[in-house]
């Protein structure tokens, strides 16, 4: 009887420790990304329209998309070269965009199909050391905003 009791307690402790480790690993991964401040499902699927119409984005989020898009347009127009500074500005706009998100459901999921690759582009720009590759990445970011406007209003 003692062996069964000991085995049951050991199993319970082992399971709860393993579960805690998984939660800690998840929390560490979320902390590392920094950009993901609320839960969402990431997907590499193509963005879908809302029955042929653009998805509505809450008004609190729109200024941060517009600001980021304007930062890129001015950077390109003025032939600027400090792409690290641009990356930091875009990162801040994206952070505010995420903080202001109150969207739920399918529209939220579809927005994240755009947002996740967009965040990756900005992160890539931030870490880039080659100005030629940075210039290409900036054009990809500009195209990312065009994609946003194709699916969201």
Task: Parse the chain into domains and list their residue ranges.
Answer: 1-30, 47-153
Question: pLDDT band at residue 45, thresholds of 50, 70 and 90?
Answer: confident
Average of per-residue pLDDT across 62-83:
98
Instruction: Check if CATH label 1.20.120 holds for domain 47-153.
Output: yes
User: Cβ neighbours of residue 75 under 8 Å, at least 6 residues apart?
Assistant: 83, 86, 138
Please answer whether residues 118 and 98 qualify as being in contact, where contact means their C-beta atoms are separated by less than 8 angstroms.
no
Q: How far apart are CA 21 and CA 23, in angstroms?
A: 5
pTM (2 d.p.)? 0.72
Distance CA 44, CA 58 (A): 23
Per-residue pLDDT, 44: 54
Instruction: Identify the band that residue 41 occupies on the pLDDT scale cut at 50, 70 and 90.
Output: very low
Task: Summarize the confidence of residues 54-69 as an average pLDDT.
Answer: 97
User: Average pLDDT over the chain, rounded to whole?
Assistant: 81
């Amino acid at each position: 009887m003692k062996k069964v009791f000991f085995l049951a307690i050991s199993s319970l402790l082992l399971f709860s420790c393993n579960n805690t480790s998984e939660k800690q690993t998840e929390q560490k991964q979320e902390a590392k990304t920094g950009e993901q401040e609320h839960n969402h499902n990431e997907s590499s699927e193509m963005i879908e329209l809302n029955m042929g119409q653009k998805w509505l984005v809450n008004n609190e989020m729109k200024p941060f998309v517009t600001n980021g898009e304007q930062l890129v347009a001015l950077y390109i127009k003025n032939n600027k070269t400090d792409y690290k500074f641009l990356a930091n500005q875009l990162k801040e706009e994206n952070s505010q965009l995420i903080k202001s998100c109150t969207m739920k459901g399918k529209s939220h999921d579809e927005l994240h199909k755009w947002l996740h690759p967009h965040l990756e582009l900005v992160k890539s720009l931030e870490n880039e050391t080659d100005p030629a590759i940075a210039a290409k990445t900036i054009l990809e970011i500009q195209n990312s905003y065009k994609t946003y406007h194709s699916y969201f209003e």
